Amino acid sequence: MKKTFKAQNIACGNCSNLIKGSLEEEFGEITVNLNKDPKEVTVEIADEANEAKFKEEMKDLGFEIIEE
């Protein structure tokens, strides 16, 4: 299912390209909405383990997911 996460430190298109370039091979198509604040990242999440891995990989890139 598609899931949208709010993320810290995403500032511009370069950040968006880094996320997509680093994670799309593993997680499939990723959409980054730069018009929202905080920025939103939408990705296809298969299960809780996949979601945890996505959050960890985002953190490793410097874009921590904001827990609501």
Give the list of residues 6+ apart from residue 5 with CB closer than 8 angstroms, or none: 40, 41, 42, 43, 54, 55, 58, 65, 66
28: left (phi over 0), alpha (psi -120 to 50) or beta: left
Tens of pLDDT along 4-59?
Answer: 999 999 999 999 999 999 999 999 999 999 999 999 999 999 999 999 999 999 99
Model confidence, pTM: 0.94
Dist CA 57 CA 19 (whole Å): 9
CATH classification number, 2-61, choose in 3.30.70, 3.90.550, 1.20.120, 1.10.10: 3.30.70
